[in-house]
Amino acid sequence: MNKSKEIDSLYKILALYEDIENEQSNITAESYLNYLDKLYIKWLGIGNSDIYNTIKGLWLLGKDAGHHRVKSIVFHMIGLIERSE
pLDDT exceeds 80 at position 4:
yes
pLDDT tens figures, 61-77:
999 999 999 999 999 99
- pTM for this entry: 0.92
Range of the domain at 32: 3-83
Burial class (CB in 10 A: 0-12, 13-18, 19+), 16: buried
Q: What pLDDT, in 10s, does the model give residues 12-65?
A: 999 999 999 888 999 999 999 999 999 999 999 999 999 999 999 999 999 999
State how many domains the chain has.
1
46 phi/psi in degrees, rounded to 5 = -70, -30
Q: Could you tell me how many helices (H) and strands (E) the chain has, helices first?
A: 4, 0
The pLDDT value given to residue 56? 97
